[in-house]
Amino acid sequence: MTPARTGSSVTPMPLVAMRQLLDEAATGGYGIGAFNVNNMEQLQAIMEAARETESPVIVQASRGARSYTNDRFLIALMGAAVELYPEIPVALHQDHGNSPETCFSAIEQGFTSVMMDSSLLSDGKTPSDFEYNVAVTREVVEYAHARGVSVEGELGTLGGIEDGVGSGEVHLTDPDQAVEFVERSGIDALAVAIGTSHGAYKFTQPPTGEVLAIDLIEAIHRRLPETHLVMHGSSSVPKELVDVINRSGGDIRPTWGVPVVEIQQGIRHGVRKVNVDTDLRLAMTGAIRTALAESPAEFDPRSYLERARTAMQAVVAERMRQFGQAGHARDYEPRTLDEMQLLYA
């Protein structure tokens, strides 16, 4: 890892609202990776990749991550990130908020974007109905926008379960219903269900159009051309990352993720935020397993965590280039949340 620059003459950017990043991405026709973070090494990997590629970035934390890290540690780490990487526009996003209270607490802690996932009930597992989804999402939108904070909603449900979130059922997004949902809820971004799943085990064979409905994105984008679309469960689960783990004693069974070319097709049709988590976990785990297998007597966490950080940085940087966000970090001046509040008003 290259030491972060200190003493820079560049004024540190504050954490910015995700809405500004997505608006700029729409203007430029690219997507922005939203990468999950749980600890210092992961955040360092994300920020180093952003500097390497000159990319704006969305850092997101699930409820599980907030519990594991503790909000105060997480916010302090984000403060260090914006100080040490002053040229990078960064949004801090609550991933899969299960209730208004979860989103409100994130905003109070300093998150600049939240996802109210009321496609599920507050248990994070049971699919809700449309009216519940609209009402709860709208409640969060009104609270967040009054504070300049962006809101992502979801219509439909993904397969798989990750961090305790997910019904395990797939309910694809209805394009016509999506129009009503966006209009009534007032969200900034819409997460769509197109057949993707959380976790590593998304597909048992390379996905076809019968299981991965990319055409739904095109249909929704035609009806909602000004709405920023979000792809969840979008790790590609590269075989080479799985092989690294299995060569060092792991037991990841054969699995396929979402091909990057399909994500790029989605970006061409309105996808502006792409969630990536599993690929990062695979990269770090593979690096740690390899390091310990090569040096069984090693007990200094820095030795294997440094390799894990480097492996994750490589994956994040590759996705940033593939999504098209590379080179766009300096395209615009960041707005403060006060300015965003006026915009929303």
Residue 192 CB partners (closer than 8 Å, separation 6+): 154, 155, 156, 173, 178, 216, 217, 220, 229, 230, 231
How far, in Å, CA of 344 to CA of 342, rounded? 5
Question: Looking at the DSSP assignment, which residues form a beta bridge with residue 274?
Answer: 33, 231
CA distance 296 to 235: 31
> Residue 63 is encoded by which pair of tokens?
């409820």
Q: Strand ranges (DSSP E) for the chain?
A: 32-36, 57-61, 90-97, 113-116, 150-155, 189-192, 228-231, 271-276
95 is catalytic: yes
Q: Which residue intervals of 85-172 are DSSP H helices?
A: 100-109, 130-145
Measured between alpha carbons, how far is 125 from 281 in angstroms, rounded to an integer? 23
Catalytically annotated residue among 23, 71, 95, 331 = 95
| Token pair in block for residue 209 | 């159009």
Distances (CA, A) of 54 to 14, 48, 229: 17, 10, 23
Neighbouring CB atoms inside 10 A of 225's CB total 10
Q: Which sequence positions are flagged as catalytic?
A: 95
